Amino acid sequence: MPRPIQALIDLSALEYNLSVVRRHAPRARVMAVVKADAYGHGLLRAAEALKSADGFALLEMDAAIRLRDAGYRHPILLVEGFFSTEELALIEQYHLSTVIHHSEQLAMLSAYKRRGGLDVFLKLNTGMNRLGFMPEQFSAALESLRTNPAIGQITLMTHFARADEPAGENSVSMQLQHFNAVAAGRNLACSLANSAAILYHPETHADWVRPGIMLYGASPFSGKTAAELGLRPVMTISSRVIAVQNIRAGDAVGYGHIFCADRPMRVGIVAGGYADGYPRHAPTGTPVLVDGRRSHILGRVSMDMLHVDLSGIGSAGVGSQVILWGEGLPVDEVAQAAGTISYELLCALAPRMQVVT
Ligand SMILES: Cc1ncc(COP(=O)(O)O)c(C=O)c1O
């Protein structure tokens, strides 16, 4: 029997969550964000479930080529753009679209002697201050693209810093204002919204939306659960208890003995640790499900194992099923307990994990 930990990927949930995106943004085309191996879910299996999306967005060239080689004919957008002139030949060969966010990229494009067909997303920095042209640089950047015979369609885009906050001064409104001031009258397609903006800010939907996390069934908001948003979890990490220790009051468990029992306890040892992608910094109290009942981890997470409290779950023992996150235990809840966000947990799924669909 293989080691009992596995990631179950529910492809029907992925497909369903795409329908939730469509319901929220019925007039926009959907560019499914599948970077970082589809947020840890597996690029090709996610792409298959998301094939009714209008496009894919990612940033790894090898992943973009894998999608093309697998036969997907959708627009595929490189959201960090390209880094060298050599990549332009690959972009052309595989008919990829690319974000343009920096003048060096414009210079490389100007020196690129091809004609037509290279679709680009011109990125505007409206306040995130990560990637993109400042509003005052925008007209020159657009002109450079418009006069370049290599360029096909031009779409304008930006990315929000605080779309996960309810509408108000500090949310998307300032960035949207800056974007609209520059985009007005250009008659170009626009793309602004990530998951949070799709769900909270319909005024940002425009022509292309770019959902990531909501497709994978997690919430982009700290105060609202994925279930409340009508999303279904896609990834469930399931393992089993592989040993039980009956400890006495005063006994401690695991590395560093950072958890010490104040009463006799039954402790389950679960196959699953940080080398599987479970966060090492998850503290005592981080929730798990044991045979469908809520419990929590104890002490320090090891590379391959963690401890769970079996007190009060009398029937639990070696072989009991343990859900680390997913169906019945939202990844957002585990992430919050571990002081992080679902994105990080999902993306960190380890290559050694056995994946079943
Ligand atoms: C440019 C861009 N668009 C869209 C997304 C999707 O964001 P989310 O997963 O919050 O929907 C990301 C993710 O970080 C991104 O970098």
Active site residue 224: no
Residue showing tokens 């070696």 = 318
C-beta 213 within 6 A of ligand 1? yes
Whether 255 is a known active-site residue: answer yes
User: Among positive and negative, which fits the CA dihedral 38, 40, 44, 46?
Assistant: negative
Alpha-carbon dihedral angle through residues 110, 111, 113, 117, given to the nearest 10 degrees: -40
Which domains are present in the chain?
11-216 (3.20.20.10), 235-356 (2.40.37.10)
Atom number, ligand 1, closest to the C-alpha of residue 343? 9
The dihedral through the CA atoms of 328, 334, 336, 341 has a sign that is negative
From residue 314, give the alpha-carbon distance in Å to each of 109, 272, 284, 349. 67, 22, 20, 31
With a CB cutoff of 8 Å and minimum separation 6, the contacts of 14 are 41, 46, 49, 50, 215, 216, 217, 234
E strands along the chain, which residues?
A: 6-9, 29-33, 55-58, 76-78, 97-100, 118-123, 151-157, 189-191, 208-209, 235-247, 252-253, 259-260, 265-271, 287-290, 293-298, 305-309, 321-325, 354-356
Q: Is 101 in the pocket of ligand 1 (CB under 6 A)?
A: no
For residue 230, what pLDDT is reported?
98
pLDDT (0 to 100) of residue 116? 74
Cβ pair 349, 298 in contact under 8 A: no
**Paired residues of 243 in beta bridges:** 269
pTM value?
0.96
Options 112, 255, 278, 343, the catalytic residue? 255
Residue 157 has, within 13 A of its CA and on its CB side, a CA count of: 30
Alpha carbon of 57 to ligand 1 centroid (Å)? 9
**Which tokens go with 187?**
């008659």
Q: What is the pLDDT of residue 63?
A: 98
Cα→Cα distances 357→9, 12, 159, Å: 5, 10, 32
Q: For ligand 1, is residue 272 a contact (CB within 6 Å)?
A: no
Which residues are within 8 A (CB) of 156 and not within 5 positions of it... i.e. 6 or more apart? Answer: 121, 122, 124, 179, 182, 183, 186, 188, 189, 190, 191
From the list 35, 39, 123, 200, the catalytic residue is 35
Q: What is the pLDDT along the chain (357 residues), one digit of tens a residue?
A: 789 999 999 999 999 999 999 999 999 999 999 999 999 999 999 999 999 999 999 999 999 999 999 999 999 999 999 999 999 999 999 999 999 999 999 999 999 887 778 999 999 999 999 999 999 999 999 999 999 999 999 999 999 999 998 777 678 999 999 999 999 999 999 999 999 999 999 999 999 999 999 999 999 999 899 999 999 999 999 999 999 999 999 999 999 999 999 999 999 999 999 999 999 999 999 999 999 999 999 999 999 999 999 998 989 999 999 999 999 999 999 999 999 999 999 999 999 999 999
Please work out whether the CB of residue 210 comes within 6 Å of at least one atom of ligand 1.
yes
SS3 category, 275: helix
Taking the CA atoms of 253, 254, 256 and 258 in sequence, report the sign of the dihedral they define. Answer: negative
Q: Which of 210, 341, 343, 344 to mutate to test the pocket of ligand 1 (most atoms within 8 A of CB)?
A: 210
Q: What is the pLDDT of residue 114?
A: 77
State both tokens at 119.
């679709």
Distances in whole angstroms, Cα of residue 25 to Cα of each of 17, 31, 48, 181: 12, 12, 21, 23
